[in-house]
Structure 1
């Protein structure tokens, strides 16, 4: 699949996803502060509302439904009022409750959050934390074995509430023809023996798995994760590890391939809950549809970006995601660079510039762009206009016209500005922009990169980034022609 992130919204529709794990009721009590209590120095709220939302594995399922997939939730709940509230919340989110296993010996997990306007004051947790009973585990394993034959991807959501007992884990381990297997767990090392395809820890979970200190947001958390790539892959047993880092985006790690970085576009709201669930749902769907990891990570980051300013438990709004993936606000005319971008002394951020044709965006492009973004704060991408591509690549190129190429680039979370240029080299653009860093692939050398000396003369530096082996637009086009010839 190409890097058309908007196209992914159609590609993921109808995918059958099995979500197995800990379902939670997220209950919100909201009120208006009216003073301090006389009994203790605590605020008094005039209660104005209360409502329930899907939490935990149920929130992953709700996000899958919102994105157009067909989710099945397999979880254990109690025969209690909270269990009935979970059924109601799932119905409101369009998620079926046919495979909720009711255990009368358990209490449904509830997380009550008390908010004064949008400021959370208190969280109260209740519900069973012990391992599910043997009879319940056997029923869950039986249903799991049946549903594994019917889905395109399975997501294990482990929040530490006892779902993943021996029979359930054994069923996942011994399933013949198991589909794409994605794990989101508070203790991701617990699933190592199952050799999952994908594991998605957050930063704190990854640091704990490594036995490394957790850095605050001022530390180099991305560098720490990338440095320990091999250990994370080994300790999770996964083919791919995606570490979410809230305001720092996400890092995707694979053996033998460059790490990928996506960037958060907005800061998370104080009361946002479950943006990681949104990322997990969108990432799993994109991978299951056949998208490359780089495009899948960008798609998932964009989905998570639709929820981070919302109070309460996060569910992706597909209409907002479509607008975000369109990204047209990032596109600038080549002859109208704004003064805030060209005023080097006043722009107040490190600008990284790269350029190319980007005809049929692929994994290699996205990998390089995500790493280029990590070299500064603002990534500007120059794109060869159609006539320039024809001069450089031949009369049959570009395959994709300039406007479409720019819109696809603008949909990437790591890209901040897209600007076309009509010459064969972006020299004039570099002179006006005066970037702090000029990033290109290491298939170039400083000697055969004509812009290198100009960048250095203007006070910037040149960074040559490792390219992804075997990835090029020319090769993709050759493969398509070869396939077309075989069909004839």
Structure 2
């Protein structure tokens, strides 16, 4: 396992499936060919990366997870190139391949695909004792079935202990019964469901397809991925729609592999299916926004020196933003009953810098400030609601009456208070001057406060 690293606490993962070698030829297209109405893509730069099940395994490994990939691969030029790309990241167990490793070449002009060229029809010919042993000893298995024989060669072993996740593709077969989560794309789900005469497209069709597949495949759950709309999770009835946190229309190449790798990793670490799908939707959305598979760091660069920082940790977040010469903004309050005034203030605060940390009073601190009966919502509930806001990057809790000690730890560049504090003393302002920070007041939406909301609620209850 030289050169590969595993983040503490993350379960190892075995990926079974069909690997490809992906190649992007990226250039510019400023004219049409003189002999045909097709663009001329010039000054092409070539880049190779793992594809298919190899991309799924590579993404899981980049998450800091120990990954074994069982796939068909030969010793030809494409196979040798794929082995070299995967070597720093993934333990490879090769299945014999009939024919050459499949290659997928995309020609892009200014990052937009112009044409795709496919070559190689190699299929995994048979299982090996090493592959069977690795599967039987695996704690968590993900199948990425592109229909080129790997899953079929090991189907009997996979059926002994069904995988956590099965990511199906049009040429592949059905998952083994008992698979915990199957992740078809919307068009794939409709084709697999084979409901003659029923139109495809829309949430109603996706829900019917997912329910049919749960039944037909005898899967515990099916998550139909819906692109920019998120995913629809079904256990057979009453589906759960998990919306994407934001709409991005970048290069979606590899988004399904990112979804499957994240879902399998979270399930391996003990998450519930719903939690895994929610995390996978978020990861796929971020992946597309960053440029998809074509924007991944070069595989040959090797693993990073350390895992990515935990953005839920306010101190790690502020340290990272400061190291990148960004602006750290902080805002504080009880946020007992989150209302439009709070949201407007926090949205405006986030626009002042590169991250927003919300400093929130503990339950004891709120009680001392507001009296008995407050807070109405517990600290855990208040923190969860704040973290759900897109404008909030992290939440920090303080137990004192005022947040000076916490601010001394975070050292924000900007400290924000609502305009209803105008004319009042801001003890934090003097503190921020110690490190060159600035306290500011932002306009506050008049007529909105937790106290006023509680008073109106009490009046209405009489």
- The TM-score normalised by the length of structure 1 is 0.62
Aligned residues: 357
8 Å Cα contact 2:233-2:277 kept in structure 1: yes
Q: Secondary structure, in 3 states, of the residue corresponding to 1:138?
A: coil
| Alignment partners' CA distance in 1, 2:57 and 2:309 | 17
Which one of the candidate residues 166, 172, 178 is aligned to 1:183? 166
Per the alignment, residue 26 of structure 1 pairs with 22
Q: 1:260 to 1:243 in 2, by over 3 A?
A: same
Per the alignment, residue 181 of structure 2 pairs with 198
Q: 1:331 to 1:158 in 2, by over 3 A?
A: farther
Per the alignment, residue 132 of structure 1 pairs with 124
Which one of the candidate residues 146, 166, 171 is aligned to 2:133? 146
Q: 1:300 to 1:73 in 2, by over 3 A?
A: same
Shift of 1:25: 0.9
1:338 aligns with 2:334: no
1:240 aligns with 2:227: no
Q: 1:205 to 1:46 in 2, by over 3 A?
A: same
8 Å Cα contact 1:148-1:154 kept in structure 2: yes
Per the alignment, residue 101 of structure 1 pairs with 95
8 Å Cα contact 1:302-1:325 kept in structure 2: no
| Alignment partners' CA distance in 2, 1:71 and 1:279 | 16
1:274 aligns with 2:257: no
Q: 1:405 to 1:192 in 2, by over 3 A?
A: closer
Q: 1:41 to 1:199 in 2, by over 3 A?
A: same
8 Å Cα contact 2:189-2:210 kept in structure 1: no
Per the alignment, residue 12 of structure 2 pairs with 16
8 Å Cα contact 1:153-1:181 kept in structure 2: yes
Question: Unaligned regions of 5+ residues in structure 2, if any?
Answer: 1-5, 298-303, 318-328, 348-361, 393-444
Shift of 1:297: 1.6
Which one of the candidate residues 33, 38, 47 is aligned to 2:34? 38
8 Å Cα contact 2:7-2:65 kept in structure 1: no
Per the alignment, residue 63 of structure 1 pairs with 59
8 Å Cα contact 1:79-1:106 kept in structure 2: no
Q: 1:241-260 residue pairs with structure 2 within 5 A?
A: 241-255=222-236, 258-260=238-240
Deviations 1:338-395 (A, max 9, x none): 3999xxxxxxxxxxxxxxxxx9xxxxxxxxxxxxxxxxxxxxxxxxx9659984999x
1:230 aligns with 2:211: yes
| Alignment partners' CA distance in 1, 2:73 and 2:154 | 16
Runs of 4+ displaced beyond 6 Å: 316-321, 324-333, 424-428
1:208 aligns with 2:195: no
| Alignment partners' CA distance in 2, 1:304 and 1:426 | 40
Q: 1:242 to 1:392 in 2, by over 3 A?
A: farther
Which one of the candidate residues 402, 406, 409 is aligned to 2:385? 406
Shift of 1:329: 11
| Alignment partners' CA distance in 2, 1:253 and 1:329 | 40
Question: Unaligned regions of 5+ residues in structure 1, if any?
Answer: 1-9, 342-358, 360-384, 414-418, 431-449, 454-488
Structure 1 stretch displaced more, 191-200 or 283-292: 191-200
| Alignment partners' CA distance in 1, 2:142 and 2:391 | 25
| Alignment partners' CA distance in 1, 2:208 and 2:331 | 32
Q: Secondary structure, in 3 states, of the residue corresponding to 2:151?
A: coil
Q: 1:155-170 residue pairs with structure 2 within 5 A?
A: 155-165=142-152, 167-170=153-156
8 Å Cα contact 1:113-1:124 kept in structure 2: yes
| Alignment partners' CA distance in 2, 1:304 and 1:73 | 21
- The TM-score normalised by the length of structure 2 is 0.65
Deviations 1:126-151 (A, max 9, x none): 1115x533xxx132xx2332112332
| Alignment partners' CA distance in 1, 2:188 and 2:278 | 21
Shift of 1:309: 2.3
